[in-house]
Chains A and B, each alone.
Chain A
Amino acid sequence: MKRTLSIAALLAAGSFLSGCKTTILYEGTGPITIQGEAKAVRKKAVLKKLKAALKDKKIEINEKVQFEVNQAIIKPDSFELLNDVAQVMKENPQVKKVAIEGHASADGDDQQNLTLSDNRSKAVMAYLVTKGGVDAGRLTAEGFGEKRPIADNNTEDGREKNRRVEFNVVDDKDAKKKK
């Protein structure tokens, strides 16, 4: 009897004292994972300006292709330039064919200049195919020696301009006409 009374009293007292409720403390058993979708972080690409650009039926280059003196060996300084030429070709598949033309100044023997310019143009073509990944079928290479000057061969400045490699766009139609 006494025990029943005690329990009841405790229940009642507990209820009143606590205001009939208590606060349950609880916590999550682990974190809720939120997987974000961060937009791709673009590397801060150094937007380097290409040294070559397609313009008016030509791939214009803003510096000269450099060769070892009297040899058809391209200097490493020009690799970047030629890589850019290759990139322009890859980005412009509408360009069916590019004629690589080697030219020389009037200095030296005519025949030697012709041979050297021809070999140099072929060295450039080989580089574009093997290193630049350009399809060989899109390229031709020919040397013209001193036959096609663009500047005065009587001045050093003019002769320097005449020693050059050009990249002329030749579409299929033009190529057929030439044949």
Chain B
Amino acid sequence: MKTTAALTITAALSLLAGCGGGATTRTPAQWTEDTYKLLETQNEAIKTCYNSELKKNPKLEGTVVVDFHVDNKTGNIKKVRIDKKKTTAGDPVRKCVTQVVQDLKLTPGDTNDGQANFSWEFKANVTEAPEETPPAS
């Protein structure tokens, strides 16, 4: 009986404490939602990077699919890896994503680690200018 009580208390305390350091235990849906919110704070940074690449090549478009790991204690995003099979955009656009994402931090931490797969779709939105008219002289 004493043994049972001790084990139960130990297990319960372990679970309550989260064991891993983070106070939150997200569901997969919450992981997705929180990660979206975090990633979308970087849209402008990614767009700025993308626009600067568009100046070099206005035809840069496509999808970038990235896998990354979220450390449960710190919330740091680590091991950012391009999913080469699903990614259609070229290197310059891929770098725009990886450089921004790998420094992000999901707060608060969580009981568990996260392993995520997210994608970005890049559209150049190219508009063609009217043909230049030559100078009169």
Question: Which A residues fall within an 8 A CB radius of B?
Answer: 1, 4-5, 7-9, 11-12, 14-15, 19-43, 45, 47-50, 52-55, 87-88, 91-92
Contact = CB atoms under 8 A, between A and B. Distances in A.
Contact of A34 (B29, B43, B112): B43
Interface in B47-83: 47, 50-51, 54-55, 58, 60-61, 63, 69, 72
A21 to B, nearest CB: 4
Contacts of B3: 5
* Interface residues on chain B, size class: 35 or more
Q: Which A-B residue pairs are the 9 nearest by beta carbons?
A: A20-B19, A11-B11, A40-B129, A27-B117, A21-B20, A8-B8, A31-B121, A28-B118, A8-B7
Task: Determine the main DSSP class of A at the interface with B.
Answer: mixed
A11 B16 CA distance: 12
Contact of A26 (B115, B122, B133): B115
A33 B112 CA distance: 28
A23 B113 CA distance: 5
Nearest to A42: B129
Given A34-B50, A39-B54, A20 B14 contact: yes
B134 A28 contact: no
B114 to A, nearest CB: 5
B51 to A, nearest CB: 5
Nearest to B137: A53
B116 A26 contact: yes
A58 to B, nearest CB: 12
A88 B29 CA distance: 66
A27 B67 CA distance: 9
Given A8-B4, A47-B134, A34 B113 contact: no
